[in-house]
Amino acid sequence: MMISSEGYYEENLKGKTKEQIMSTIRGLKQEIGLLKKTMESPDYGQEAIVHPSEDTRIHWTREYLKRAKLAYNQAGGKYTLSKAEEKTADFDSNMDSICKIIFSIGGFFGGYRSYVVELSDEVKAYTKLWEDEEPLSLLDTDNDETFTKATFIASIAALHIGEWRRRYSTQRFGYTVCDGTQWELEFEYNNGHKPVRFDGDNSYPYNFDRLKMLFGIDDIEEDEDE
């Protein structure tokens, strides 16, 4: 069972020096990285998942990290973002300027289906298979209503995509896979920011299934297309 961020502060941070808190911050960042790597491994899911699950632990460890950074500043420190955190902060700060999202997934033999969401005052969504376009209905499963721009951006923000690696490969785990599934996720902006792209080859971020759910992707339908 996980405790609240304030409970974590009382047990682990209260009364500590800024040096001790910084040591805790490093440990929390390492823990998040290890949990993500566990979930991103090709072998993940072959054994029973122990509760609380890695996904739940990532959520709460991220909350503890936020509280630890605040405690560090309160103890007289001045927290400096790492390069990885700067990239995350840049992605998050430009979220409202996203005007188009293109998510492509598929394989060499079956072709690639692209899921396109255009964000202006309204949300226009459609799929592309080869040159054919079909309207795509995006449903906010939390509210049983179609997305607005604000609710779609909020759902993207909840995925913490700014923390993702730019490239995912099974070679990271010592595997080489031929063919299979490739994917690409690209964000375009209306404020002059350069497009941001993520991609992978038979390897995925820890919360990739939640991304597919956001685009209304059914695994059975995807298998039929390949």
For residues 48 and 102, state if they share a domain.
no
For residues 188 and 117, state if they share a domain.
yes
For residues 214 and 113, state if they share a domain.
yes
Which residues make Cβ contacts (< 8 Å) with residue 38, sequence separation at least 6? 44, 54
Least reliable range by pLDDT among 27-36, 39-48, 151-160, 181-190: 39-48
For residues 107 and 216, state if they share a domain.
yes
For residues 72 and 28, state if they share a domain.
yes
pLDDT value of residue 109: 64
Q: Count structural domains, the chain.
A: 2
Domain annotation covers residue 150: yes
Of 194, 116, 203, 193, the C-alpha closest to 167 is: 203
Domain that residue 9 falls in? 5-80
Domain annotation covers residue 137: yes
pLDDT value of residue 158: 96
pLDDT tier for residue 149 given thresholds of 50, 70 and 90: very high
Give me the amino acid identity at 183: W
Longest Cα–Cα distance of the chain, Å, equals: 62
Model pTM?
0.89
State how far the Cα of 66 lies from the Cα of 25, in Å rounded to an integer. 9
For residues 112 and 209, state if they share a domain.
yes
Per-residue pLDDT reduced to its tens digit, 153-209: 999 999 999 999 999 999 999 988 777 899 999 999 999 999 999 999 999 999 999
For residues 60 and 98, state if they share a domain.
no
Per-residue pLDDT reduced to its tens digit, 63-112: 999 999 999 999 999 999 999 999 999 999 999 999 999 999 998 666 78
Give me the amino acid identity at 204: Y
Average pLDDT of the residues of the chain: 91
Given 80, 107, 133, the domain boundary residue is 80
Domain annotation covers residue 56: yes
For residues 160 and 219, state if they share a domain.
yes
- Helix segments in 41-182, DSSP class H: 54-74, 83-93, 149-157
- Indicate if the pLDDT at residue 220 is higher than 50: no
pLDDT tier for residue 141 given thresholds of 50, 70 and 90: confident
For residues 52 and 118, state if they share a domain.
no
pLDDT value of residue 219: 63
pLDDT value of residue 66: 98
**Range 142-159 average pLDDT:** 89
Which residues make Cβ contacts (< 8 Å) with residue 141, sequence separation at least 6? 213
For residues 161 and 190, state if they share a domain.
yes
Relative orientation angle of helices 54-74 and 5-12, to the nearest 10 degrees: 60
Domain annotation covers residue 125: yes
